[in-house]
Amino acid sequence: MIEPGSTSESGFTFIGETVLHEGYVISVAQGEFETPEGDRITRDIVHHPGAVAVVAIDGDEVILVRQYRAALHIDLLEIPAGKRDVAGEAPEFTAARELEEEVGLRPLGLELLTGFHNSVGFCDEYVHVFLATAFEPVETAHDGPEEAHMTIERWPLDDAIAATSDGRITDSKTQIGILAAARRLGR
């Protein structure tokens, strides 16, 4: 959360915000700012608790999930991921929990690949992306109807890399994660 009265490097000052909606995952606020010239402006801001994602590579295959996404009303191919909805939980613990819940694999180690802000024009969400290459099987524990109906797909890593640029994979965290993993693995 931005502290009222704080000023950015470029001279914008945050005055405050009014929460317009408190949802299940997000809140929507109208923020008020002062420009470097002293003008007042308002911006819509979506607050999100953040997320994690895991590029799980088993041998030469990347483990993906195909999951229904209500905002688009389609099933999307993605790397396992989830929101940071447990207060105080470190991102690597959230990532391990999500991988177990979604695909039934407990990572024996996680390496932070990268992190990114998802939609900076209106949202404060930050995604931590991890790499996992060794696992032990566990029971899945799907959370919600979308996960209960998701499917797990194993793709050759080279096919997944190609799919990030030919339109088969359009999810940003999946594109970023696969390309970062490919670079990390020297592909």
Phi, psi for residue 153 in degrees, rounded to 5: -130, 140
**Residue 147 annotated among the catalytic residues of the structure:** yes
- Distant-in-sequence, close-in-space partners of 133: CB < 8 Å, separation ≥ 6: 56, 57, 58, 109
Determine the Cα angle at 17 with ends 16 and 21, to 5°.
Answer: 165
First to last CA, the chain: 38
Helix (H) or strand (E) holding 145: helix 145-148
Rounded-to-integer distance, Cα 140 and Cα 158, Å: 27
CA distances for 166 relative to 134, 140, 160, 174, 175, angstroms: 29, 31, 10, 13, 11
Of 100, 102, 125, 147, the catalytic one is: 147
Structure tokens at 56: 């799980």
Active site residues: 147
